[in-house]
Amino acid sequence: MKTIIVTMTLFLSLSSFAGSASHKMTFSTTKDLELVLSHITDYENSCQTGCVNYLPSVDRITVLRNIDYADDQFYTWTFVNDFMNSKFFSKVIITRSENEMTILTEQVGKSLGKRLAKASGLKSSPLLASTSASYHLINVNGETIITYNINVKFKGLLLNAAKKQIKKGIVNSANAIRKNLLK
């Protein structure tokens, strides 16, 4: 009985390890706001091999056009194929004003993920506790200034031990996104 209690206590303490990683960058392009938006939201042409836009570790992104789809708010499904695979749903929200736009992408919670999996037939098995990415686009004197910010949270000893690899992955993805938007 003591072995079970010690093992369970050890498991609970190790599984409670939590961590996070984030990256932010700002850059500019001469492309107009709408063109930058169209590049950012060209999800289905963004992956690690054979796509127009290179995105490391991403095997596929699918836009769920048949589930609560609108031009400024929709769901995506992403398959990340890396040191550990992850399949998750995100909600994309686009807000616009005269000279600026914000694109927010947030991984959905478990219950909504299950509902979207059932409705779409796509599997939901997120590796990270949460993922949130935002682009803030602003037009200044004919230039579009882009601020990209990504934040991830994770739980568990294994992912906490891989924190440097997770941070490197989000930095590599951010750099690939910048390169895609500047080409």
Whether the CB-CB separation of 62 and 89 falls below 8 Å is answered with no
Q: Give the CA angle between residues 174, 114, 61 to the nearest 5°.
A: 30
| Sequence letter at residue 26 | T
DSSP letters along 11-61, please? HHHHHT-EEEEEEEEEEEESS-HHHHHHHHT-GGGEESSSSSEE-TTEEEE
pLDDT of residue 165: 84
Lowest mean per-residue pLDDT among 30-34, 44-48, 155-159: 155-159
Domain ranges for the chain = 18-182
Provide the mean pLDDT of the chain. Answer: 89
pLDDT at 162: 73
Q: For residues 61 and 18, which has the higher predicted lDDT (pLDDT)?
A: 61
Task: Name the residue with tokens 């996104």.
Answer: 177
CATH H-level superfamily of 18-182: START domain (3.30.530.20)
Q: What is the pLDDT of residues 107-126, one digit of tens each?
A: 999 999 999 999 999 999 99
Query: Angle formed by the axes of helices 163-182 and 33-40, to 10°?
Result: 140
pLDDT reading at 2 higher than 60: no
To which residue do tokens 């991403």 refer? 58
Q: Which of 155, 177, 165 is nearest to 20 (CA)?
A: 155
Q: Could you tell me if 51 and 42 are in contact, meaning their C-beta atoms sit under 8 angstroms apart?
A: no
pLDDT attached to residue 49: 92
Q: Per-residue pLDDT tens for 58-109?
A: 999 999 998 989 999 999 999 999 877 899 999 999 999 999 999 999 999 9
